Amino acid sequence: MSLAALLDGLPIPIIQAPMAGATTGAIALAVSQAGGLGSLAAAGLTPEEIEAGVAALKRETSRPFAVNLLVAPSDTPDAGVVAAALARLAPWYAQAGAPLPAAPNRFAHDFQAQLAALTRAPPPVASFAFDLIDRAQVEALHAAGSYVVGTANTVAEARAWAEVGADGICAQGFEAGGHRGNFLAETEASLVGTLALVATVRDAVDLPLIAAGGIMDGRGVAAALALGANAVQMGTAFLLSDQAATSAAWREAIAAAPDDPTRLTRAFTGRHARGLENRFMREMRPLEDAVPAYPVQNRLTGPLRAAAEAAGDAQMMSVWAGQAVALAGPGDAGDLIRRWWAQAGEAAAGVSVRVNRGEKV
Ligand SMILES: Cc1cc2nc3c(=O)[nH]c(=O)nc-3n(C[C@H](O)[C@H](O)[C@H](O)COP(=O)(O)O)c2cc1C
């Protein structure tokens, strides 16, 4: 077996994007059972929770699924940096009526321990974003029985994943909701649209390719496959689905969003991410470059965002969503992928009629 064979063997070549904070194993199960590839977002899980999550999915389905980790540093930042970041956030905590947190001892789960858990409880596919893992780590996952997919925002990043032995590339265009995955160059130099990225990575790297970013229905699925993708990864399109863990405030903000509502910001987490523009993003913009890098700022704004979310205040929480969020709709996640796949067939047939009209030029 190979990753290419696994993807080509999916009845529906749609991967439900891992979405930390918006998904649980329930949506992964629904999508895998319906013939797609579900993903468990494991960035926020302890090693024990990762092992339990993989075991539960293996118990509940014989279909393949993916587990995703974010490759983030776990070293402790300078106390002065943390104090300055908290001081910047103090007015926001006051507005939310929530206590300013004390400087935490830890800012994220230990990545090495999470990775070790994945190697002990290997999923069919292990996917990564934010940085590379090294060749030895890729080989350990292979030996355990997992295929490795690396997220790339540029052709150079796709080549880097190929060099460490990854089995496939998830090419994340700049339309995508949530965090940017760039790790080689600054964000400004890594904002390639899905159309350009998928076609250029397809030509540069001889690995199975997964297209992500702005794909919201069957039209996008057909377009990505036409560009040479083996499968697509869709995130925002699932945010209103029955099995998504999206909060009521998040769902309402999506439903009420104006035209073209998303922006990139690093103010919430210290890493650029795309979401619905709100007051926190706008007012923090002048300070954005000063906030400490992920995961530090992510941890420091966590209680603020949770308080705003609980209060239904979408102006102080991160409402991650991609550029085409207006196309998101409700429904059972399994029904959604079946509908998108049927639409993809119609879209491809329509293009085929036009292309094969028989006119000689
Ligand atoms: C709410 C949200 C959370 C996300 N969390 C993760 C994550 O934990 N890991 C990851 O690799 N990608 C994450 N992503 C990015 C997706 O994997 C994918 O690149 C993106 O959703 C594709 O673009 P689309 O949202 O336009 O479909 C997230 C995206 C969203 C919208």
Chain segment 192-224, per-residue pLDDT in tens? 999 999 999 999 999 999 999 999 999 999 999
Against a cut of 0.85, is the pTM above it?
Answer: yes
Please state the separation of Cα 26 from the chain's center in Å.
Answer: 17
Whether ligand 1 lies within 6 angstroms of the CB of 232 is answered as no
- Cα(235)–Cα(322) distance, rounded to whole angstroms? 8
Residue 85 vs residues 34, 69, 150, 263, 284: alpha-carbon distances, Å: 44, 26, 31, 22, 12
The pLDDT of 35-61, averaged and rounded, is 98
Q: Which residues are within 8 A (CB) of 166 and not within 5 positions of it... i.e. 6 or more apart?
A: 138, 148, 149, 150, 207
Closest Cα to atom 6 of ligand 1: 19
N residues, the chain: 361
Instruction: State in Å: Cα 349 to ligand 1 middle.
Output: 29
Q: Which residues are within 8 A (CB) of 310 and not within 5 positions of it... i.e. 6 or more apart?
A: none
What was the pLDDT predicted at 74? 82
Flag whether 293 is in a domain: no
Flag whether 333 is in a domain: no
> pLDDT by residue (tens digit) across 99-146?
999 999 999 999 999 999 999 999 999 999 999 999 999 999 999 999
Whether ligand 1 lies within 6 angstroms of the CB of 322 is answered as yes
Whether ligand 1 lies within 6 angstroms of the CB of 234 is answered as yes
Flag whether 242 is in a domain: yes
The pLDDT of 301-324, averaged and rounded, is 98
Whichever domain contains 227, its CATH number is: 3.20.20.70
Whether ligand 1 lies within 6 angstroms of the CB of 157 is answered as no
Are the C-beta atoms of 156 and 201 separated by less than 8 Å? no
The pLDDT of 181-201, averaged and rounded, is 98
Flag whether 27 is in a domain: yes
Whether ligand 1 lies within 6 angstroms of the CB of 221 is answered as no
Q: What are the backbone dihedrals phi and psi of residue 305, each rounded to the nearest 5 degrees, phi first?
A: -65, -40
DSSP characters over 48-69: HHHHHHHHHHHHH-SS-EEEEE
Are the C-beta atoms of 47 and 116 separated by less than 8 Å? yes
Percentage of the chain surpassing pLDDT 70? 100
What was the pLDDT predicted at 358? 77
- Cα(191)–Cα(172) distance, rounded to whole angstroms? 9
- Pairing mode, if any, of strands 273-276 and 262-265? antiparallel
How many helices (H) and strands (E) in the chain? Answer: 13, 11
- Cα(78)–Cα(134) distance, rounded to whole angstroms? 27
Are the C-beta atoms of 168 and 209 separated by less than 8 Å? yes
Does the pLDDT of residue 250 top 90, yes or no? yes
Whether ligand 1 lies within 6 angstroms of the CB of 233 is answered as yes
Q: Supply the mean pLDDT for the chain.
A: 97
Q: Which atom of ligand 1 is nearest to the CA of 325?
A: 26
Are the C-beta atoms of 82 and 296 separated by less than 8 Å? yes
Q: Which residues are within 8 A (CB) of 311 and not within 5 positions of it... i.e. 6 or more apart?
A: 96, 97, 249
Whether ligand 1 lies within 6 angstroms of the CB of 151 is answered as yes
What was the pLDDT predicted at 125? 98
What was the pLDDT predicted at 270? 98
Q: 151 lies in which domain range?
A: 3-72+109-246
Per-residue pLDDT band at 361 (split at 50, 70, 90): confident
What was the pLDDT predicted at 247? 97
What was the pLDDT predicted at 174? 98
The identity of residue 152, as a single letter, is A
Whether ligand 1 lies within 6 angstroms of the CB of 240 is answered as no
Neighbours of 83 (CB within 10 A): 11
Instruction: State in Å: Cα 228 to ligand 1 middle.
Output: 21
Whether ligand 1 lies within 6 angstroms of the CB of 22 is answered as yes
SS3 241: strand
Instruction: State in Å: Cα 270 to ligand 1 middle.
Output: 16
Flag whether 30 is in a domain: yes
Q: Which residues are within 8 A (CB) of 288 and not within 5 positions of it... i.e. 6 or more apart?
A: 265, 266, 267
Flag whether 284 is in a domain: no
**Number of domains observed in the structure of the chain:** 1
What was the pLDDT predicted at 88? 97
Flag whether 62 is in a domain: yes
Neighbours of 271 (CB within 10 A): 21
Q: Nearest Cα to 69, choosing from 27, 29, 122?
A: 122
Instruction: State in Å: Cα 352 to ligand 1 middle.
Output: 31
Closest Cα to atom 7 of ligand 1: 19
- Provide the token pair at 24: 């649980």
- Cα(192)–Cα(280) distance, rounded to whole angstroms? 26
Flag whether 215 is in a domain: yes
